[in-house]
Chain A
Amino acid sequence: MVDTKEKKFLKAYMDCHEAFVKYCSAISYGKMDAEDLVQDVLLSAFHNFEKIKKQDQFLHYLIRAAKNRSISHLRKKRNKQELLDKHANRLTSKEVNAETLLDIQLLYKTLTELPEQQKDALILFEILGFSMAEIAEIQGSTSGAIKTKISRGRKLLKKLLEEQHNVGIKISTRLKTILL
């Protein structure tokens, strides 16, 4: 009986795996361990699996649960650097090159500076490839509102990235001046 439930659960989860883990990685970046979040959400989903009405929308359920957990979960205060290192190590073990890793870390770090809903909409749309209608359903909003959030999120993200880029150029120029 237990095996059957586990199998059913894993069967339903299989299609959601990539998107769900990526989502957890993005929203938990620098705040909590993604593994903790994934485990928490999956445990909860496992116990409530029979109660989930729309099992065809299991990914939506997992994403909503992860979102709620990331906000309300009583998190252990961990060293931020430790979390970042864990994340980097996991990706490195997946043969992700250093440049891509830096890009991902820059993106996730910048995303944390965005307003929560804009950040969420951008992750779902840009990284996970959800349609606006799907995001609207997950967030309990309308397509129009999601479109606005994504648009504003992009603008803000661009601005933040440019600022960081300019700061980087300034630092490198100064370093060059000092070294020369």
Chain B
Amino acid sequence: MKKKNGIAERLFENARNTPPEFDLNHIEEMVNQFSGAPPTPNDKNNWTKFINIKNGLIMSLSMTTCIYLISLFFTTGNLPSSILENKPTISENIYDVAETKNINTTTHSKTDQYLKEELQEEILPSKKHLNQGISIQEIQGPRVSPLDNKERQFISPNFNQTDSSQNEKPNNISDRDLKDELLSTESGKEFSIVTSNESGLDSEPISLGQLKLRRLKKILYKNLMADELIKSKYAVVNIDLPGTKIIINGKKINDDLFLKYQELTMEAGTGKYRKIKINRANIRVGDFTETGFSGEGYGKFTEEIESPYYPRSINDKDGNVLYVFEKENAELDALADRLLGQYYGGGAPPRDHVDLEFEALLDLHQNLYALVIKDGFIDSKEFPVIIEVDKTGIKVNGKIPTSAQLSGYQTMVTKYKIKPAAFRSIRLTTHQIKVGDFGDGQFTGSSSTIGDY
């Protein structure tokens, strides 16, 4: 040590041997004066001593939780309408739908009629709608609110909460005036629409609210999963409530479950057309008749519009109108219903989307048709084909290919980077190909018409 740290050791040695700066007497004098001296500032109660990392973390966590709870409270629509109207503009069109018995919509003007028709078309998802070729742009009449985003709408029954006073209509106000007043609630992209109850329906009235609808959706999904009536919390659920029985996704439930679900759906009431329809985005409770839906809904609603990927007819080279796609789509839909059912759902919806160019779609159409015919899944190109590409594997028209067959499909899927996902499939008809996600009654992905007609 000494050799290594010669200088340092000498210095330390000197420091060790040096007497302290003050002798003990000096300290004694010092201490004798302490008895009358006030305590040092650090010994006093100082609130800053409570500021430390631990307390800081606790405070910041508490603050974050409070802010989250407050924001949650605000987003659940527990505020008066005046406050809601002052919310920042959101990118979705928002409709407030409520049931009001005092208003007779049949006497309304063109605007009201338009609103009702539009609402029915937008609320009632129907595959017919797609094939009829009616697009929202084709509807004539004054528009109440521009539909900037045609994919999503928000339907909530909070009209009852916000404008409950209007249910008690004074005698001197006509229906027309009331309707105008309702339409005048339009604020930016928010406005209210009132639907009337279908007359002649033998159904119990519904009086739910946003919170009850939300809770109902949550409870139903939870119990349906627990009772293994659905496989996924993203599954589409249709519950028929005629009264004497309960039919869930087309199947009548047994007596034990009947009592349970009768209690769970008590607030939805019963009726010949009374149904609860749930999907991952929304819940609707009401009467689903051929003329449309009458009831309450909560959540985000997908508007089914005429898609350019669903052509109805096309002119051939000679100018003749051909309806090949109508037939093909019907066959494809029938096959999809048979294979997958209307209520399938195998997991979380995908976050990515298939986006393929025409050349890729053409290549897929040709090669996949060749493969399925070669593997004997179909006899000719006349038949539609559905190739499911989900996480459980690849299925061709509901059948699992053998390991020898599988490589061909996997090669094609890998070549065009079609990742496995719930609801994802490749659907082929003679003149069409659709690759993407078919969930909640809508298609997202790439599609093209193929060949000459």
A152 contact set on B, CB distance < 8 A:
none
Complex: chain B residue closest to A73, CB-CB: B42
A40 contact set on B, CB distance < 8 A:
40
Complex: chain A residue closest to B4, CB-CB: A158
B21 contact set on A, CB distance < 8 A:
21-22, 24-25, 34-35, 87, 90-91, 94
A35 contact set on B, CB distance < 8 A:
21-22
Q: Is the CB of A161 within 8 A of B7?
A: yes
Q: Is the CB of A154 within 8 A of B8?
A: yes
Complex: chain A residue closest to B5, CB-CB: A158
Which A residues are closer than 8 A to B by beta carbons? 2, 5-6, 9-10, 13-14, 17-18, 21-22, 24-26, 34-35, 38-40, 42-44, 46-48, 69, 72, 87, 90-91, 94, 96, 100, 103-104, 106-108, 126-127, 129, 154, 157-158, 161-162, 165
A72 contact set on B, CB distance < 8 A:
42
Docked Cα-Cα span, A44 to B7, in Å, equals: 37
A6 contact set on B, CB distance < 8 A:
31-32, 34-35
Q: Is the CB of A39 within 8 A of B5?
A: no
Docked Cα-Cα span, A26 to B14, in Å, equals: 13
Q: Is the CB of A126 within 8 A of B12?
A: yes
- Quote the shortest CB–CB distance from A158 to chain B (angstroms): 5
Docked Cα-Cα span, A78 to B137, in Å, equals: 83
B18 contact set on A, CB distance < 8 A:
22, 91, 94, 96, 100, 104
Once A103-B14, A126-B12, A158-B4 are accepted as A-B contacts, the answer to whether A21 and B28 lie under 8 Å apart by CB is no
Which B residues are closer than 8 A to A by beta carbons? 4-5, 7-8, 10-12, 14-24, 27-28, 30-32, 34-35, 37, 39-40, 42-43
Q: Is the CB of A162 within 8 A of B39?
A: no
- Quote the shortest CB–CB distance from A157 to chain B (angstroms): 5
Q: Is the CB of B22 within 8 A of A47?
A: no
Q: Is the CB of A104 within 8 A of B8?
A: no
Docked Cα-Cα span, A139 to B70, in Å, equals: 45
Contact of B12 among A87, A91, A127 (CB under 8 A): A127
A38 contact set on B, CB distance < 8 A:
22, 27, 30
Q: Is the CB of B19 within 8 A of A94?
A: yes
A21 contact set on B, CB distance < 8 A:
20-22, 27
Once A43-B34, A91-B21 are accepted as A-B contacts, the answer to whether A104 and B40 lie under 8 Å apart by CB is no
- Quote the shortest CB–CB distance from B61 to chain A (angstroms): 26
Docked Cα-Cα span, A157 to B12, in Å, equals: 11
Q: Is the CB of B8 within 8 A of A157?
A: yes
Q: Is the CB of B34 within 8 A of A42?
A: yes
Once A17-B24, A94-B19, A103-B14 are accepted as A-B contacts, the answer to whether A42 and B7 lie under 8 Å apart by CB is no
Docked Cα-Cα span, A17 to B20, in Å, equals: 8
Complex: chain A residue closest to B41, CB-CB: A74
Complex: chain B residue closest to A13, CB-CB: B27
Not counting A18-B19, A43-B34, A104-B15, a sample of 17 additional A-B residue pairs whose C-beta atoms are within 8 angstroms of each other reads A2-B35, A5-B35, A6-B34, A6-B35, A9-B31, A10-B27, A10-B28, A22-B21, A35-B21, A38-B27, A69-B42, A91-B21, A107-B11, A107-B14, A127-B12, A154-B8, A158-B8
Docked Cα-Cα span, A162 to B70, in Å, equals: 65
Docked Cα-Cα span, A42 to B23, in Å, equals: 14
Q: Is the CB of B15 within 8 A of A10?
A: no
Q: Is the CB of B15 within 8 A of A127?
A: yes
B24 contact set on A, CB distance < 8 A:
14, 17
A48 contact set on B, CB distance < 8 A:
43
